[in-house]
Structure 1
Amino acid sequence: MTENKGFLNIMDSSVWGGMEQYVYDMSEELQRQGVAPFVLTDMGNPNFINRYGEVATVLTIKLSKNSRYLYANTVAKYIHENNIDTILCHTGKFILFALLLKKLTGVKVLFFKHNVLPAKTDIYHRWIQNQVDSFVCVSKCVYDAQVVKEKQEKYHLVYNGINTHRFPKVEVEQSQNGIFIVGYAGRISIDKGIMELLGAIKILHEQGKNVELHMCGGVSENTLSQIDEYIKSNHMKTYVKNLGFKKDVNQFYRFIDCLVVPSKIQEAFGLVICEAMYCNTPVITSTSGAQEEIITHGEDGLLLDTVTDTTIANAIVYLMDNPAEYEKIRKKGYHRVESTFTIENMVSSIKSL
């Protein structure tokens, strides 16, 4: 295995989400491990230019479909001048450009798979599979969906990992009056089970439980209006708080008593799950994707086979009423993430490909 010289991520999007944060955290860790990180992004995206500039050297071109190929020789020259030996592509819209750069420079191309989608086997995608050096799948459920048997040696399971440096141990003022704080973090949407979670909190209040729900994350106007209407019609304003998007979620995870992530769609990974577990916060989540690869039910978290108001409420009550189990899950959850799902492990594995 030759020593890595420099990694170039190709990244552009209209919003900053999990995949964009993945590249940010990876770039920061590459620096810590002695590899020079570079990010290629669109010259008209100041948000990405500024944010990635905090952790990597940023190269800008016009990345739109009709323009990027005009810059191929410019980028190829930059690759040679900066001793870049690996290109990392995270979406299909940039893979042809990445492979053109490989043709011009001889660098490796790693194609990251962040979604649970079945592999395509038409002529075009078979050609892509022949040209790419390695495919990186962020969980086993992604690997199982994506792997092409004829090219199995090119597919690698490299678990996503959290940037533990973002989650130092800090003293956080705990809730008053014995209130049990249920947290939700991530994109707030209907398919993420947010209405069922609200229904569970309503059930618990009807049972006389002293519970609050604190939600943290981005939300569309349409979903927000549905949530607000539900909260208003069920008189829940005093015990449901929407905190909006928070860049620093360390204190949020350490303040809440448990995190509930009742997603109803297939999740490629579960970054917020790992973040909360690392912060010693028990997690309740569904079995709709890679969550089962992270959590063993009853040991380091709780899994829901079905997502309903009642199943969520019952799981929350279990944590509230069983302090010994709560403490066991809290401690084992931390050790599970600390041993397996860290950015250090992830980047070390990627460097070895």
Structure 2
Amino acid sequence: MSADVRILAGGRQQRSYEERSRKVTELRPGDASLLRKVNTQVTLRALRREGVATLTRLGRITGLSRQTVEAVLDELGGRGWVREVPPDEGVMGRPARRFGFRADAGHVVGVDVGGDRILACLADLNGDVVAWERAGVPDDAPAPERLEAARRTSLACVDAAGVPRTRVLTVAAGTSGIVDRTGRVSLSTVLPGWTGVDLAGLAGRWFGCTGLAANDANLAALAEHWRGSAQHASDVVYVLAGHRLGAGILIGGRLHAGRSGAAGEIGALRQVGWDDAARELVKEAGAEEVFAAAGAGDPEALRRVDHYAEGLAIGASALVLTVDPDLLVIGGGKARAGEVLLAPLRRHLAELCLRAPEVVTSTFGEESVALGAVRLALDHVEREVLNL
């Protein structure tokens, strides 16, 4: 990677502070408002990257004068995004003024609206998780009941952390099915009455803020690229092997949802056999019991796991042959089986693919969708609120 490009959270590429500073000098004299905006952007980026920094340090990083940096910090402080940090004890002489980004000035909520449970996550503006909240929901719950459960769980998550609801800037929800660019579920074959639900619009009403929504496997892939197993991979295929089977795709570190949000929905092709393989696995016992028995060497359990792994590999190989990814990540509840599932999966992938990629399990498991929703919400806040 060249010296003037850095990778920031969420996989976006940004020019270095030095390059942005050079562009500041190229602005026309009349572009005062634009100049202030650029100065604010580069200063805030530098401060978030440093955590705590002095005026001198920020000036060196951004290429801006001390006077300019001080003016920007005063403005950001007035807006509540920056605070002055007390000097270290024992420092001789006049201590340098130090500043820090106020990550607690706002929060985001990520919520996984699943088939049998709701999982909500509250995080500050650095993406650090403040609280989790879980709640069960019946598989056959109608849409209004599922939405109410998601609302109550999200509110309870924020209230349990003692964070004012007004401090929530964005809510993002993940769910199964095809979710279009507006955050509406355009097709769901799993959750009753879910097709047509404006999930983003409804989620935004819970806190009176911006609401976003996306497919659960896509968000799980985003979480793994942000802080999980796929942090250092550029092209990634993520397979969500949980209550249902789904897939998400990252190309060049960015989510590839496709024209209508249906990219990765390989399970919709009946010939792939994902639904059949999942049903066969739990035909006589729960998935955890089958995996445990297979790990202990039970022949029948091993046969069932191998059959499931083969079905999983057929769909995954179609995506692998299309994308040729750096990494294949297996997530969801069944990823807890570890090598009991991955070993036969790798074997079948080797038979089906020209060059099978590295295969790993998710870092987060069942928490990946909610964490990916947090990352989606943070991206929106950074772009639309912080103007980064």
**Shared fold by TM > 0.5?**
no
Higher radius of gyration, 1 or 2: 2
Return the structure number with greater strand share.
2
TM-score by length of 1: 0.30
